[in-house]
Amino acid sequence: MADIENDGLLSNPNRATLSPREAAEQRWGTMIAHRYRVEELLSFDEMGALYRARDTERGVPCALRILPEIYARDPEIRDRFLRDAEAAQVLQHPNIIEVFGTGKLDDGSVYSVMQLLDGQNLRAVLDEEKRISAGRAVHIASQVCRALGTAHDMGIIHRDLKPSNIVLVTQDGELDVVKVLDFGVCSHMDSERSGVSTIDKLVGSTAYMAPEQAAGEEADPVSDIYALGTVLFEMLTGRLPYTGRNDYDIMMKKGRQEAPRVDELVRDVPAALADLVARCLAPRPENRIRSMRVLEVDLLRSLDAPAAPRAARSSVDLSERSAATSLSSGSLMPPPEPAAAVSHPNMILASASMSAPRPAPEPRTIVAPAKEHPHAWLWLVGAGTIAVVLVLFGPQMFGAAKTPPEEPPAPLAATQDVDDSTPPDPPKPIDLAIPQAVENAGDPLVLAGRADLALAEGRICQPAGECLRDYLAALKEIDPKHEAIERLTQKMPAAGLDAGRKALAEKRFHDAGQVFRCVMALAPETEGVKELLAEALVGEGKILRLMKAWDDLAALLEEYDKLGVKPGFDALVLKGQGMAGKGRWQESVDAYAAAAKLRPNDKDVKKALDEAKQQLKSAEKK
C-alpha cells in the first residue's frame, strides 16, 4: 500500500462528521509533514493522539503527538501542548523526554516529534505491584530529582508531577531509568515568561498537587517537591497520603493536617526516609526541603542514615526499622528490582545513558519537622509572599576598640604569664586556587549534591574539603563530563560575590577576603571582584592596625597594591599608618599626601602627614 500524503487533511470525505478519536484512528499509513509515516495509534487523551511513526529521512522509529485542530483552536490548550515540547527541547536532560521538533499542519493541527522507546509508566507499575521497595523507590525518586533540579535551575516548574508522567525504561542494561514527561502545564519562574492564567495555575492532579498551588498561588520548586513527596509516599505505602469524598475534601485536608508518616503505615521503610517524605509533604511551603538537589542527596543517604528522634514515636518496633535499613551488599542502595516487562502506550521517551547510583559516603541525620497545629484552609487563600530569613552568625564580632598606646608595650619576660586576651595572629592568605582533599569522594552523584549544597550555603573555598571548589575538583577527577561541573562553575562567581558581600556587611572582613580571593583564583575575569577584595582588605587592615600587627598589615597592603585598584581615602590612610608602623617613612609620607589631596580639609590627615615628614627628616639625618 502506497503512503498517503496527508499533512493533516484526511482522505475520508466524511471526516468532518468524525469524532477527534475516530479522525485520529484514520491517520494510519498517512505521511505527516512530508516526513513522518504514521504506523500505529498508541493512545488518545486530552493532549491529542500519540502515534508510533517512522522518520523517513532518518529511517528510524519515532513518536508523533498530534493535537487535533478542534483542540488547537483553543489557545490555552494549544499553548499547553507547545509548552510541553518547548520545555523538553530546552532542558535536554537524560531523565527528561527528548523532543526533536514541533510544527503545524494544513488543517490547523499542531504536532511534536519525540524519540520512541518502550517502557512502563510508574502508574502502571503501582497499579500492578501496589507498592515497591524502599531501595527501588529511592532509585526512581532520585532520578526525578535530577531531572526537575535541572528544570528548576532553568526557571521551569513542572506543576503536574504524578506517576503517569514518570516512565521507567531499560537502557544500556540498566533497569528503571526514569524519563519525566508532560511539561505541558509547566510555568517559568521569571516574570517575563510566567504569564499563566489563574485558571491554568490550578491545572494539575489534585492528589499530587501542593496545597498552595490548589489555592491559586503560583507554583514554585517546593510545589514540585510536594508532588514528588506524594509520589514517594505512594511508592512506599501503596496508597495516597490523603483520601476524601471529592477533590475539595482532599485539598481541605492537605491544608489542615499533616500527612500520616510512611513508617507508621508500613514497617519496612527506614525511619530517615520516612522523615524525608514527611518534610516533602509539609503543608506549609517554608517547612519543606528547599531544593531538588538537596533532596536527591538526602534520599541517597536516607537508606543508611538513622532518623532524628521525635517527641512521639509510633508503635512500630525500632529494631525492625533498623533491620530494614541494613543492606546485605553493604552499599547504600541495592540494585533496583526489575520492572515488569509489559509494553505500555505512554512510553515516548528520550534516549540517554544514566549511571546507577553509588553509595553515599557517611550517613546524615534527617531532622523531621515538628508536628504543627492544624492550619485553617484560609491561610492558603490569603497567602502572599512567604519569606524565609536565614540569619548567619559570623565567627568574629568586633566591638569598639580602645586606641592603642603610642609606645609599644615592653616585651614579656620569660616567666611572665601570657595575657589570654592578647588577640591571636590573623591567618595569612593562602593559595585558594589549590583544591584540598575531599573525604569519600568516589560517588559523582553525592559530590554534585554536596557541591550544590555548598553553593547554596556560600561555602565557596572554605572550609577545606567541604567547599564548592574542592567538590568541583574532586568531581572533575572522577567524572570530567558530569553535567553539574559546567553549571556550578558558571554559578560560582555570582554566589561567591554574594557570600563575600554578606560577610562584608557583617564586618567579617577576613572571611570576605578569603571568598573574594577564591573567586579571583577560579574566575579572575569576574567583574567587580578586585574592588570588593580591596574593600575587604581595608577592613581587615584596620583591625591589624589596632592590633599593631605591622608585618601582617604590610603584607596585606602589598596584596592591595597588586590588585591594581585605585586606592580610596581609607586605603591611603591605612597605608600611611602601616608604613609608619614599619618605619618606612617615605612611603608613609606619599600615602598621607595622596589622602590629603582627596580630602584637603581633613585635619587628622594633615597632622599625620606632618608627623611622617618629621620622622622622615629625622631618619635621613641619621
Q: Which residue numbers are catalytic?
A: 160
Q: Find the helix or strand (DSSP H, E) in which 488 lies.
A: helix 483-505
Residue 273 C-alpha cell reads as: 526516609
Angstrom distance (rounded) from CA 117 to CA 518:
45
Report CA dihedral (610, 615, 617, 618) to the nearest 10 degrees. 140
How long a stretch of residues is the chain? 622
Residue among 63, 61, 62, 82 at smallest CA distance from 71? 82
Identify which of 145, 186, 141 has the alpha carbon closest to the alpha carbon of residue 168: 141
Closest CA to 149 of 574, 560, 449, 512: 449
Whether the CB-CB separation of 268 and 246 falls below 8 Å is answered with no
Task: Decide: helix, strand or coil at residue 62.
Answer: strand
Question: Please, are residues 339 and 175 in contact by the beta-carbon 8 Å criterion?
Answer: yes
Handedness of CA 467, 472, 474, 479 (dihedral sign): positive
Cell of 318: 525500632
Distances (CA, A) of 538 to 559, 571, 604: 11, 6, 18
CA distance 217 to 201: 7
CA terminus-to-terminus distance, the chain? 111
Residue type, 235: M
The β-bridge relationship of strands 174-180 and 60-67 is unpaired
Q: What pairs with residue 101 in β-bridges?
A: 113
